[in-house]
Amino acid sequence: MNSPKVSIIVPCYNQAHFLNDSLQSVLNQIFDAWECIIVNDGSPDNTEEVAQKWCAKDARFKYIKKPNGGLSSARNAGISISRGDFILPLDADDLIHQDYLQKLLPVIENNDGIEVVTCYSIFFRNTIDNVVNTRKPTGTTIDALLYENMIMATSLYRKESWNRVGGYDESMKDGFEDWDFWISILKDGAEFKIVPEFLFYYRKAAASMLTNTVANHLESVTKYIYKKHSEVYINKFDTTMDYVFYLIKKHKASEDNLKKSLEYRIGKAVTKPFRFIAKLNKSKNK
């Protein structure tokens, strides 16, 4: 096989039941100069069995197995043995349109100033026909990424960019590692490009790494990114302060709305006797 132009990296941990669909979307690509490296990140399910079947089906599929180390570690492991000039991460439960590589690759390949190219996304549940949301990112520079990650993890970029920034941060096991990665790539002035077509399908699940990050680690991970790239945020000090105070105002408004809600007033009335008893006991014990 000739050297592939694009290396598609598919980490898999406990998602073997989705892996066939994901890899089928890779096989369906109109552009065919690719390799696909399936990375078993110490998964306890039958990931290896599924991956080996695909490797037997088409020589462009490769398989490696490693101890569990998290998403960043799995991506780095796959990219480190890749042969393509361009990298496309693809999670094992997501899908790409058959035109994905054909339409995105020329954008980055023919423009040295573009470091990342992405597209519009469809969020689906169970099947791609069951659309629950869509996403149309905007922007071209790091300014669009400072306070919200506009670029999906499944976006095309140069392998030399991965080499230059030292890969994905493997200490980031609680999510947003792709946001950190894009900032690392783009903070020296490079640009990204958006192809305005729905070519990526993101599977929505009740529980996922993203929902866990937002629910339990949003503040700590965001703080880590701000501190790691402090020179970027200091350079944008006024904008950063405006955003911080916007969040404070939003949080205060949310608390005020909660206190005005019927549920809050009912809860306060129900607990009033208990608060009175607690206050009475406290005064007796003095």
Tens digit of each residue's pLDDT, the chain (286 residues):
578 999 999 999 999 999 999 999 999 999 999 999 999 999 999 999 999 999 999 999 999 999 999 999 999 999 999 999 999 999 999 999 999 999 999 999 999 999 999 999 999 999 999 999 999 999 999 999 998 899 999 999 999 999 999 999 999 998 899 999 999 999 999 999 999 999 999 999 765 555 555 556 678 888 899 899 999 988 887 777 776 666 666 656 655 565 555 554 554 554 555 454 455 555 555 5
C-alpha–C-alpha distance, residues 226 and 240, integer Å = 10
115 and 247 part of one domain: no
Residue after which a domain boundary falls, among 210, 235, 260: 235
State how far the Cα of 237 lies from the Cα of 139, in Å rounded to an integer. 20
The answer on 272 and 190 residing in a single domain is: no
Q: Roughly what angle, to the nearest 10 degrees, separates helices 262-284 and 237-260? A: 80
1 is a domain residue: no
15 CB contacts (<8 Å, ≥6 apart)? 43, 45, 47, 91, 92, 93
Residues 76 and 150 in one domain: yes
End-to-end, the C-alpha distance of the chain in Å comes to 84
Is 96 in the same domain as 200?
Answer: yes
Q: Give the Cα separation of 236 and 225 in Å (integer).
A: 15
pLDDT for the residue 195: 98
Q: Classify residue 200: in a domain, yes or no.
A: yes
Same structural domain, 180 and 254: no
- What residue numbers bound the domain in which 263 lies? 240-284
Question: How many angstroms separate the CA atoms of 53 and 61, rounded?
Answer: 10
Amino acid at 134: T
**64 lies in a domain?**
yes
Within a domain: residue 100?
A: yes
Q: Say which CATH number the domain at 210 has.
A: 3.90.550.10
Percent of the chain with pLDDT over 90: 71
207 and 265 both lie in a single domain: no
CB contact at 8 A, 69 and 167:
no
76 with 118, same domain: the answer is yes
pLDDT number for residue 274 = 42
Distance CA 40, CA 51 (A): 9
pLDDT tens-digit series, residues 6-60: 999 999 999 999 999 999 999 999 999 999 999 999 999 999 999 999 999 999 9
Is residue 13 located within the same domain as residue 98?
yes
Q: Are residues 211 and 274 in the same domain?
A: no
Q: 3-class secondary structure for 207-229?
A: CCHHHHHHHHHHHHHHHHHHHHC
Q: What is this structure's pTM?
A: 0.83
Show which of 218, 235, 252 is a domain's final residue.
Answer: 235
Number of structural domains, the chain?
2
Contacts within 8 Å (CB) and 24+ apart, 205-213:
205/93, 205/125, 209/71, 209/175, 210/175, 212/174, 212/175, 213/174, 213/175, 213/176
Task: Examine residue 75 and state whether it is found in any structural domain, yes or no.
Answer: yes
* Residues 77 and 206 occupy one common structural domain: yes
Q: Do both 137 and 181 map to the same domain?
A: yes
Q: Are 87 and 157 in contact (CB under 8 A)?
A: yes
The pLDDT score that the predictor gives to residue 264 is 46
**Per-residue pLDDT, 235:** 87
Are 58 and 124 within one domain? yes
What per-residue confidence (pLDDT) applies to 108? 98
Q: Is 160 exposed, middle or buried (0-12, 13-18, 19+ CB in 10 A)?
A: exposed
123 in any annotated domain = yes
